[in-house]
Amino acid sequence: MRWWLIPIVAALSWFAFTLTPLWALYDLAHAVQSDDAAYVEKHVNFRALRLSLTRQLTTAIKIGSADLEPRDRQRINDIAGALALPLAETLVTPQTTIDLLNDGWPQSLDLPNPPQLFVSNGLRADRISRLAAFYTVSEMRGFRTVVVAVPPNRKGPQQFKLRLRLHNWSWRLIDVELSETLRSRIAEKVARLAAKRGGEQGSDTPAAEDPPLRPGTGP
């Protein structure tokens, strides 16, 4: 082999490798659209996803309490992790993951949809052109991790991101970075409910069996 072929072969090999997450993304999108919970359960690392969502929601709850009275804000900041954990547990199941990936919004939670959220915003890769769009916004981080923005053509507070990691020659979803809009809506509602409940009960610790936000509940 001529020496100048080596960098060409290396570049082509790397390009081919960067395409492999797209096939995993295509299969995941198909599972989401067909409501295939069994596939999602096998190809999502729920432990990693739970930890990530807990961190995101803890931070968001602290930010969302900024407009409250100082006493309520301090109380919520102190218990933000305890508020976020049951909510993350609610979101991390095969069915709620499908619900979230379908359009970036968990309909199972009692939250008002943002006015500009459309069904086409979710994880859809039923055409080559859609896969190509996902490829243009994908970001390889080393050999084992890739981050993909969803939807690829709608940047801003509505966009969320997926992180996939290579494990045993298979790409698995390990993280969903919630959209800015969703984090804000959840945080604001949790902060309001926690402040209201704290005022009514005079307690600084939420009951473990009664999280401040869960499916089908509202203020």
Strands (E), the chain: 139-141, 145-150, 160-167, 170-177
* pLDDT at residue number 194: 66
By percentage, how much of the chain surpasses pLDDT 90? 19
Report the sign of the C-alpha dihedral through residues 165, 167, 169, 174, in that order: negative
Query: 112-141, pLDDT tens digit by residue?
Result: 666 665 555 688 877 777 788 888 888 888
Q: Enter the pTM of the model.
A: 0.76
Per the model's pLDDT, the better-predicted residue between 150 and 19 turns out to be 150
Question: pLDDT tens digits for 46-65?
Answer: 999 999 998 888 888 787 77
- Binning pLDDT at 50, 70 and 90, where does residue 174 land? very high
Burial zone of 63 (CB within 10 Å; 0-12 exposed, 13-18 middle, 19+ buried):
middle
Q: What's the confidence (pLDDT) of residue 117? A: 58
Three-class DSSP labels, 154-168: CCCCCCEEEEEEEEC
pLDDT digits (tens, 9 = 90+) for 139-159: 888 888 999 998 887 777 888
Closest C-alpha among 91, 44, 87, 46 to residue 64: 87
Residue 209 has pLDDT above 50, yes or no: no
Burial call 36-62: b when 16+ CB within 10 Å, e when fewer: bbebbeebbbbebbeebbbebbbebbb
